[in-house]
Structure 1
């Protein structure tokens, strides 16, 4: 049984058809990449999965439940987490407090009212900062981080709720080559407990970390399969790689 299954997903904006019957299937503990030329519908499909956009037609199922009409909040409660390309960390707060707030979002109101969470969550905060190589910056303001480090902090925050599925939209945009390499290393351990859908333009990066790829072109799925299958697909070579 797939963890995530989107089928026949179309999205029309006025006279523009951004998606035309697109499909996406993601299994448990799978890293799945969405690739395609600019304007192919990658981010729109991601938003339809996350609930930021409602499909014009089609269905999205998550953990065997139809979530097509679910709000983003309802999808988050079901076990889905999303990080868009633009970072949304709180720049004036420390890294520690950014992670703490993300963890506190999962706590009960009574625990928050009686301030029971900061001490109880300290170990989890430090574990997450350590996992993303940010522990030595725990008490620095998030605004002092490099662009890549801010992306790592936000990914850590997105994982605070222990989602079953993490959605990343171009996480390496604006990163240096070294930051991209480290990002791949930081993501690998989460496969033990979380699947990943990632939109990315860096083909070398996405090939290195993903188990399967779906290629979109002009709102339609051009091909879907393992990395090796996509690399050898003549349609992808002729249409996607030529236009990328």
Structure 2
């Protein structure tokens, strides 16, 4: 008999109360090791708040969060990152005056501080890992250019690369295709699919064509609660999801 490994992440009965407003209301959410999971929902549904609570930026007012079977609910953000969770926000947070490769080295060696990451000798294995990540995200030919000179899509790929460089077990990606055109969006979907297995990945997005390209299990949040979970096909066929979200998303896409 093969024993199934425990979930990588368990969010158990978590609520977040902002002065009487329940941003999250008794949320139960599970991510398995190596899983690609997609979070969708209307604006204000609680998607970013859930990720903020997982990473320790927002404190749960009820419930608990376990990562690798250990409670992380009350840990500071830097300790949660150290344990193996890393988040990419919607707006890229690169260091524009550093090169693309230097940004990755900062991420790969974040426990030593950004200045020491650049001034101390870089071990060969880290150099090789940075080169491999640059190749995987399609930025190998941009390694020496200043990050601030990258095009928008390239900047988003660098941000994903920086999250990858941390070697975190769980990657939280907040709208990684924001502002991208169709070709860059398709390329980003392929990149994120390639991460699953090596990392668990949670993607927040609202673009249903991108969600379909990711082809992973979907969790729908609405008014701080989980409305539905299932495949993309299940979610598209759900009348309640269509009423509260998919119709609005379609209207926004054509606006």
One fold, TM greater than 0.5?
Answer: yes
Are residue 89 (structure 1) and residue 94 (structure 2) matched? yes
Are residue 103 (structure 1) and residue 108 (structure 2) matched? yes
Are residue 5 (structure 1) and residue 10 (structure 2) matched? yes
**Unpaired stretches in structure 2, ≥5 consecutive residues:** 1-5, 250-255
Q: Distance in 2 between matches of 1:138 and 1:123?
A: 13
Name 1:147's counterpart in structure 2.
152
Name 1:53's counterpart in structure 2.
58
- Of 215, 234, 240, 1:229 maps to 234
The Cα of 1:107 is off from its aligned counterpart by: 6.0
**Unpaired stretches in structure 1, ≥5 consecutive residues:** none
Tell me: CA distance 1:237–1:67, structure 2 relative to 1, closer, same or farther (3 Å).
same
Question: Normalized against structure 2, the TM-score is what?
Answer: 0.89
Q: Distance in 2 between matches of 1:94 and 1:113?
A: 11
Tell me: CA distance 1:120–1:208, structure 2 relative to 1, closer, same or farther (3 Å).
closer
The Cα of 1:2 is off from its aligned counterpart by: 1.1
- Of 169, 174, 193, 1:169 maps to 174
- Of 74, 89, 92, 1:69 maps to 74
The Cα of 1:142 is off from its aligned counterpart by: 0.4
- For these two proteins, the number of residue pairs brought into alignment is 243
The Cα of 1:131 is off from its aligned counterpart by: 0.9
Kindly report the root-mean-square deviation, in angstroms, between the aligned alpha carbons of the 2 structures.
2.1
Asked whether the 8 Å contact 1:213–1:230 carries over to 2, the reply is yes
SS state at 1:23 partner: strand
Please list every run of at least 4 consecutive aligned residues from structure 1 whose deviation after the TM superposition is greater than 3 angstroms: 111-114
Tell me: CA distance 1:49–1:210, structure 2 relative to 1, closer, same or farther (3 Å).
farther
Name 1:217's counterpart in structure 2.
222
The Cα of 1:233 is off from its aligned counterpart by: 2.0
The Cα of 1:207 is off from its aligned counterpart by: 2.3
Name 1:198's counterpart in structure 2.
203
The Cα of 1:167 is off from its aligned counterpart by: 0.3
Deviations 1:41-91 (A, max 9, x none): 111111111111011111111111111111111111111111111111000
Deviations 1:142-179 (A, max 9, x none): 01101111111011111112111100111111111111
Question: Normalized against structure 1, the TM-score is what?
Answer: 0.93
